[in-house]
């Protein structure tokens, strides 16, 4: 097991990553000590991972809610279901929630914890690659609204994160590949050497080599922990972790939640963000194509849907990173370093949206 600590003063917490953690009853009981617990999961995850967690915590687990899987389930109706169940089980301010699943489960459970009785503790038990390398760390919690992704939410840090890398063996190939998009994102925005490491190990990643995957999880958590510790509430530099997401959230929302997995949409969004970075003169064509080649080698989509420009602009205007001055984009200043820009012209944006990856030379 590898443990690192996200330092946030009184909100600091440990991130545990390793094989077999969900099967280790004594370890779970050491980390999760509340006497009244409520668990949220989804049908796919529960089938594989619920039993050992329930067995380990049976003395304190007073209820559970198993949701259908999918991004479309991260909504206000299901949030109300959680609240109704918490009321029925009598979960008070000394209780806690457990989020056993991927990013959807983590987001909605965390937001329920942030809201219930003005905030109670919750634990992240991420079971997808995307959640282990990104979504479970940092305290962003939310549900979607028809007007946009994650528009209703709060910053609420978990009590700790327990990432069992053995759980990744149960992921369908598509879900695993989608998580690799967030892995690449961490390298592009904060660690050039990590990008080289990923290129050299692309085949091992595709084959889910356990040691390679475990190292990926650790390195991404180290990057994210450092960024979040410096800017917990995303007032500035933390926004670099949204590289590709302004475009990606349009793909998810306008395309209908559930049609594209989050990581797939981020991958296609990063392709557009790479081209925008090139247009700004920050990276060369060869550097853009190097990054696209890695994404394609890992079977990630790089071609965004051909939505009307009005659709792109309408959905981007709702983006949480927008300000009264207009849209903010995360672009690369160079590979391994990202910056925020709020001076992108509409023509530059249209040129980016007109670009297609097959244009690469």
Catalytic machinery residues = 118, 140, 182, 224, 234, 238, 242, 245, 249, 262
- Beta-carbon-side half-sphere exposure of residue 311 (alpha carbons within 13 Å): 15
- Secondary structure (DSSP) of 29-72: HHH---SSEEEEEEHHHHHHHHHHHHHHTTTTEEEEEEEPSSGG
C-beta separation of 263 from 130 below 8 A? yes
Q: What are phi and psi of 22, to 5 degrees?
A: -75, -15
Nearest to 310 by CA among 353, 345, 356: 353
**What Rg value do the Cα atoms of the chain yield, rounded?**
20
Query: Could you tell me the CA-to-CA distances from 58 to 43, 104, 293 in Å, in that order?
Result: 19, 24, 48
Cα 136 from Cα 139, distance rounded (Å):
7
């Amino acid at each position: 097991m590898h443990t690192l600590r996200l330092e946030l003063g009184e909100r600091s917490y440990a991130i545990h990553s390793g094989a077999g953690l969900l099967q280790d009853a004594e370890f779970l009981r050491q980390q999760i000590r509340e006497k009244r617990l409520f668990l949220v999961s989804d049908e796919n995850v529960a089938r594989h991972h619920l039993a050992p967690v329930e067995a380990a915590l049976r003395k304190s687990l007073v209820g559970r809610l198993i949701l259908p899987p999918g991004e479309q389930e991260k909504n206000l109706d299901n949030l109300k279901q959680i609240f109704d169940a918490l009321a029925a089980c009598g979960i008070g301010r000394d209780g806690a929630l457990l989020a056993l699943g991927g990013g959807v489960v983590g987001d909605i459970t965390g937001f329920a914890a942030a809201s219930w009785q003005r905030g109670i503790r919750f634990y992240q038990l991420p079971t997808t690659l995307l959640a282990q390398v990104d979504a479970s760390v940092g305290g962003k919690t939310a549900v979607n609204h028809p007007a946009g992704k994650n528009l209703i939410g709060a910053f609420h840090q978990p009590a700790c994160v327990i990432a069992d890398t053995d759980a990744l063996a149960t992921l369908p190939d598509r879900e695993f590949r989608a998580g690799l998009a967030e892995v690449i994102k961490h390298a592009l925005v904060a660690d050039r050497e990590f990008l080289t490491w990923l290129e050299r190990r692309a085949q091992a990643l595709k084959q889910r080599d356990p040691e390679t995957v475990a190292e990926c999880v650790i390195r991404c958590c180290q990057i994210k922990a450092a960024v979040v510790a410096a800017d917990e509430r995303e007032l500035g530099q933390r926004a670099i972790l949204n590289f590709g997401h302004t475009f990606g959230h349009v793909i998810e929302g306008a395309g209908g939640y559930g049609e594209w997995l989050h990581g797939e949409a981020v991958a296609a969004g990063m392709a557009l963000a790479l081209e925008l970075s090139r247009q700004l003169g920050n990276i060369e064509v060869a550097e853009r194509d190097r990054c696209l080649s890695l994404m394609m080698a890992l079977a990630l989509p790089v071609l965004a849907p051909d939505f009307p420009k009005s659709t792109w602009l309408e959905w981007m205007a709702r983006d949480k990173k927008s300000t009264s001055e207009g849209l903010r984009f995360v672009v690369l200043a160079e590979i391994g370093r990202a910056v925020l820009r709020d001076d992108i012209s509409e023509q530059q944006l249209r040129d980016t949206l007109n670009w297609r990856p097959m244009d690469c030379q």
